[in-house]
């Protein structure tokens, strides 16, 4: 899926993704299943991390990644924790929307790839992060497309979330 890069349209799309891609519940078994799906869907080496309530539930560094990629995962996850939105969304915000908060971050903090782990009726409870692909939107798209696939499996009763 190609995202419309016009800022207002892109921001609306990114917010809609956050509304659509929510869980009914989440636990370590689901983190493992989702993490394995992200590995399967990755076409380039990435580092994948899934946290719930500040507890690391899944972490995998594919061959071809480096320690700095794991550091990028942490920084991107910090953006989700601070703003409760995807790192790609935060990176697209005009600086006047949150000038002090955003300007205090290095650009690498808010490039795409960190997505809020949202439980319906509760809110943001963690993050799902992929980091290392070549562009802002590629890491983000890996997470979003994997979430769409994963949540589609839930609706078909193939997962424990229903």
Tell me what pLDDT residue 159 has.
Answer: 47
From 36, 51, 32, select the one nearest 125 (Cα to Cα): 51
Q: What CATH topology corresponds to 7-155?
A: Beta-Lactamase (3.30.450)
Number of H helices, E strands in the chain: 6, 4
Count Cβ atoms below 10 Å from residue 4 Cβ, excluding itself.
10
Tell me what pLDDT residue 9 has.
Answer: 87
Q: Is 151 helix (H, G, I), strand (E, B) or coil?
A: helix
Tell me what pLDDT residue 162 has.
Answer: 45
Q: What is the pLDDT along the chain (162 residues), one digit of tens a residue?
A: 455 555 778 889 999 999 999 999 999 999 999 999 999 999 999 999 999 999 999 999 999 999 988 888 998 999 999 999 999 888 887 654 554 455 555 554 557 899 999 999 999 999 999 998 666 688 999 999 999 999 996 555 554 444
Tokens of 144: 């979003």
pTM of the predicted structure, to 2 decimals: 0.84
Q: 158 φ, ψ to 5°? A: -90, 0
Tell me what pLDDT residue 135 has.
Answer: 60
Query: Rounded to whole angstroms, what are the CA distances from 153 to 30, 64, 92, 113, 143?
Result: 12, 30, 30, 22, 15
């Amino acid at each position: 899926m190609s995202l419309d890069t016009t800022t207002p349209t892109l921001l609306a799309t990114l917010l809609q993704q956050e509304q659509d891609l929510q869980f009914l519940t989440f636990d370590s078994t689901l983190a493992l299943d989702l993490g394995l799906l992200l590995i399967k869907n990755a076409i380039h080496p990435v580092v994948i991390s899934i946290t719930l309530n500040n507890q690391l539930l899944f972490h995998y560094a594919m061959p071809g990644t480096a320690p700095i990629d794991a550091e990028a995962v942490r920084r991107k996850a910090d953006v989700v924790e601070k703003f409760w939105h995807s790192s790609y969304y935060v990176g697209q915000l005009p600086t006047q929307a949150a000038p002090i908060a955003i300007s205090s971050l290095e650009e690498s903090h808010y490039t795409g790839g960190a997505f809020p782990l949202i439980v319906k009726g509760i809110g943001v409870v963690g993050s799902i992060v992929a980091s290392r692909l070549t562009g802002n939107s590629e890491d983000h798209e890996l997470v979003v497309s994997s979430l769409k696939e994963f949540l589609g499996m839930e609706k078909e009763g193939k997962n424990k979330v229903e």
